[in-house]
Structure 1
């Protein structure tokens, strides 16, 4: 294997010296790496086609909706409305968790988690509870 690597490196150096890489599309720009390791292998091509057409896979769309709901929650000042929105957000997350084999990990970005935790207060029902 080491011999093959040396040969490949040698040919790459020779091509660079000849200028074979000078007119490559995207030269000087970073490569866009798409991590699709969480997508099942049999769905990768379909997801790539959908992505190129401007559609999101259901999992990503649901995550986007959750982040939007969290952002909207941050702007609420009415305690009752905030409480309703938190309940709605919890239902969304529970629904996604039940549909997936792995839970939604909102704690990956601790900023969202902290924002929600800071904004949520316990709402006490002062109306008759009976």
Structure 2
């Protein structure tokens, strides 16, 4: 054990003995059911980190959809289909922007830099 670990363990023991943990919210109550119960144990920590940092499954899904639509647009030769994909991309980007703005995150990622290029080309 390193010194930091020893010191922190000692402080936790003293706080427990002094009753400093007795008035914590939820003291003596069962822990809430983990919403990641269906996730394999080796992936739970990664999911918790993502969730605690504000990353959601919906955000990940939208990012994948945006990337897929952009790839389809690059490979599309039909002007009508390309226009349909562009409208769909605009809808997804709007939804993504709204989601990010609610979290207070600036949306200056590469996805939107690519989008600027599509607007000027379109």
TM-score, normalised by the number of residues in structure 1: 0.42
Q: Normalized per residue, which structure has more helix?
A: 2
TM-score, normalised by the number of residues in structure 2: 0.45
